[in-house]
Amino acid sequence: GGASMLDNPMFQNFNEEYSRALNESRARWEMERMAEETDLTDTEEREARNRRQYEEEMRRSQGRYRREKAQAESDREYEEGAELMKRLYEVSKQQGLDDGFGMPSAFEVRMKSQQE
């Protein structure tokens, strides 16, 4: 039989690293479990803290989402408003009301109606 993967030094190295990491995390987990058994209020406090952090993060991301949404909406409103102004300008030009700006002033309209 040829060399198997187990004979590969890279794999052996990985295997050693992996089992070392596994043992470390197991030991850490064991210690945490023992610590929690000795002091349950500590666990409750940590859970409350984690929950607070989570809620805070949620609030922040929701706020960010709302801000971005509001920004997008105001951008759209601005674009729609600009589009509307452009259309009004085109219409006023077609009707010969163009006074160099776009719309006739109320004063000019009043003057015209008084002249007729």
Query: pTM for the complete prediction?
Result: 0.31
Residue ranges of domains in the chain:
1-38, 40-116
Query: Residue 15, Cβ neighbours under 10 Å: how many?
Result: 13
Q: Give the position of tokens 């006023």.
A: 92
The dihedral through the CA atoms of 51, 53, 54, 58 has a sign that is positive
Q: pLDDT digit string (tens) for 96-108?
A: 765 555 455 665 6
Can you tell me the distance from the alpha carbon of 31 to that of 37, in angstroms, rounded to the nearest whole number? 10
Q: pLDDT digit string (tens) for 6-50?
A: 778 888 888 888 899 999 999 999 988 888 777 767 778 888 899
Can you tell me the distance from the alpha carbon of 45 to that of 82, in angstroms, rounded to the nearest whole number? 55
Q: What is the SS3 assignment for 53? A: helix
